[in-house]
Chains A and B, each alone.
Chain A
Amino acid sequence: MNIQNSQTWREWLGQKISDPQERKRITKALGVVPLTLTRWVSGEASPRKQTLYRLLDCIPEQREYLLTLYQKEFPDMVSLIREEEMNPLENPVIPHSFYRRILHTLTTTSPQLIFHAIGDLILQEALKQLDPDRKGMSIVVARCMPAFPGKGVRSLRECLARGTAPWPESLNQQMVFLGAESLAGAAVSSGHIRVNQSLKKNYGQWPGYYSQWEESAVAAPILRSGCVAGCLSVASALPDYFVQQRLDLIEQYAELLQLIFTPDEFIEIEQCHLQVMPQASYQSDVLATFRHRLYEFMRANVQAKQQLSLLEIEQAVWQLLEEELLARPLIPGE
């Protein structure tokens, strides 16, 4: 029987899982045991809504066909899916309770922990709201490096990141310095959100990093009183992912993120004179020295009985690395 002639989604699934490889793939993707699939096919049991959603994601090439089959048994759900396609976010605002939690946390968290702890909580919330079905997203905060005397801010440094597959959950090993060549750089230099809806189609409209999985990307500056401290960058594994609702939400998260920066980190946008930074692969050998250098600085600090905090020492090391990277000759194409 041709699978496209199935009368019901259960019949369709039965056909599909008659292929052992497909059965294995679908079982794994849905997180169920094979017997469960068999019970759905026979009509003994029905999956939950979120499993039906995920089944659609398993077979993108037959998504529309499967939706027509769902229609017969789950008309309300199909209407909801159609509505979500038009307006993907049920509620395109950050929940009030989250603002309250962050503000409360600020009142009790020591300054040493604010940037990482609260920043990470915000990124995790943003990731879950922007990519609830885990279709593939990376979300990164880059902060402006301290202004260099007479030259202003020359680069941004990625310092907080989270991702959903295909990106790794923790992106710490992949964080680099960014400059004028990046989408984040364009957002910071202009003070406005910058979007690349389809990096394959529109590459060149705005600068983009165009990483291995990145299909669309957004960068929103983190502003206070018209001054900038960094940037929130979000990349999706899907093209055209950033519809207006999601862009609005990203701007809200960028606004919230201003809370994790200290007042002195906000600088006039005119002070941003971002340089072109070397490609990520050309930075890795320098970045790999960070931990060792941090150790040397901290040891000297302990021996000298100085009271510099870990954050202050880290910043000094990053400045050293920035200087070295800026001194590197650019390779052709950068």
Chain B
Amino acid sequence: MTEASDQNQNTYVIDDKSGAEMARLLDQDRLMTTEMGGLFPEREDLTGISHILDIACGPGGWTQEVAFAHPEIDVVGIDISSAMIEHARAQAKLQRLENVRFEIMDAKKPLPFPDGSFDLINARLIVGFMPPSGWPALMRECLRLLRPGGVLRLTEGEWAWVTSPAFERLQLLFTRALYESGQSFSPTGAHLGITPVLNRIMRNAGFKHIQSKAHGVDISSGTRAHEGYFNDARAFSLIQPFLQKWVGTTKEEMQSLHQEALTEMLADDFCGLWFIYTLWGEKV
């Protein structure tokens, strides 16, 4: 989800204290859960799952939904952003959820939980803050935190393939900026490049019985997901400071390209396919 920083560890690309980013993340979270087919689309049976860790939970959308739907499961959400965690805690309190807690923690560092604390560890869209060099250490940490038989579940995505030239240019600017900042798996900065390497990352860490499920979300005009994706794209202006820093995109350039992209996304013949990929593997 998001990981940003209050001190000097900020590797997330958007200001984590922005309420607009918080609202965007909550929307994105709902959109993903809906389009993936639920909280645990790859498994119906949660027998044996009583402790879940959600890494980089952001404002805690998925975490709270799990806690509400499964009151007998203990869920912990962690994020480096105090603003996100404060929001998540307040929301959980309002809902009187007793089985969820949120902690400020940096997933790029060792996590202060005892060995074997969790039956399932979840992480969605952490590529926005986790550099390629950080993944092996995170995998080792997940392995330590899972009990034998526990499951790590990773969900990442790539930018959508779209028929909008302006939106494609915006996406390219973003992936290029990630590349320049050293946060990309792509050899050229042409895409995020995270999904093809996830299996290897998990396998190298020692996870077994790795399985995967791909979700192709149709975001074309007239589809259920179009509005949600369009609303997400509306908030694209939030990444302008990141683009300015790494690829020199000015506010004016961003504004013009953004407006053009939104226009093209509204066309009746706009087509797009968003690729989301979930992998899960076991600690044996």
Give A residues with C-beta under 8 Å from B.
Answer: 30-33, 35-36, 47-51, 54, 95, 97-98, 101-102, 104-106, 108-110, 112-113, 116-118, 120-121, 124-125, 128-129, 132-134, 169-170, 172-173, 291-292, 294-295, 298-299, 301-302, 310
Contacts and interface: CB of A to CB of B under 8 A. Distances in A.
Contact of A105 (B19, B86, B227, B266): B19
Contacts of A47: 71-72
Interface string B256-284: 00011011001110000000000000000
- Which 3 pairs, one residue from A and one from B, show the smallest C-beta to C-beta distance? A105-B19, A295-B266, A117-B20
Contacts of A301: 259, 263
Contact of A128 (B94, B221, B259, B268): B94
Contact of B19 (A102, A129, A291): A102
A252 to B, nearest CB: 14
B47 to A, nearest CB: 5
A134 B19 contact: no
B72 A118 contact: no
A118 B259 contact: no
Given A121-B23, A125-B90, 4 more contacts: A108-B15, A121-B26, A301-B263, A310-B234
A295 B72 contact: no
B65 to A, nearest CB: 10
A121 B72 contact: no
A97 B30 contact: no
Interface of B is mostly: helix
Nearest to A35: B47
A117 B91 contact: no
Interface in B1-35: 15, 17-20, 22-24, 26-27, 30
B180 interface: no
B91 to A, nearest CB: 6
Contact of A33 (B45, B97, B231): B45
B262 A97 contact: no
A54 to B, nearest CB: 7
Nearest to B94: A128
Interface string B70-108: 111100000000010011001101111111000000000
> Per DSSP, are chain A's interface residues mostly helix, strand or loop, or mixed?
helix
Contacts of B22: 105, 117, 121
Interface string B29-45: 01000000000000001
A125 B91 CA distance: 7
Nearest to B267: A295
A302 to B, nearest CB: 5
B26 A124 contact: yes
Contact of B47 (A33, A117, A125): A33
B103 to A, nearest CB: 17
Nearest to B93: A95
Nearest to A300: B263
A128 B86 CA distance: 15
Interface residues of B, number: 47
A173 B224 CA distance: 10
Contacts of A35: 47
The CB with the most chain A CB atoms within 10 A, among B69, B95, B228, is that of: B95
Contacts, number: 124
B19 A295 contact: no
Given A105-B19, A298-B263, A97 B86 contact: yes
Contact of A48 (B72, B91, B260, B263): B72
A32 B72 contact: yes
Contact of B237 (A49, A113, A299, A302): A113
B59 to A, nearest CB: 9
Nearest to B258: A310
Nearest to A53: B96
B51 to A, nearest CB: 14
B161 interface: no
27 contacts: A35-B47, A47-B72, A48-B99, A51-B71, A51-B72, A112-B237, A113-B237, A116-B231, A117-B19, A117-B235, A120-B26, A121-B23, A121-B26, A125-B91, A125-B94, A134-B68, A172-B227, A291-B266, A292-B266, A294-B266, A295-B266, A295-B267, A295-B268, A298-B259, A299-B263, A301-B263, A302-B263
Interface string B180-224: 000000000000000000000000000000000000000001000
Nearest to B19: A105
A295 to B, nearest CB: 4
B14 to A, nearest CB: 12
B87 A101 contact: yes
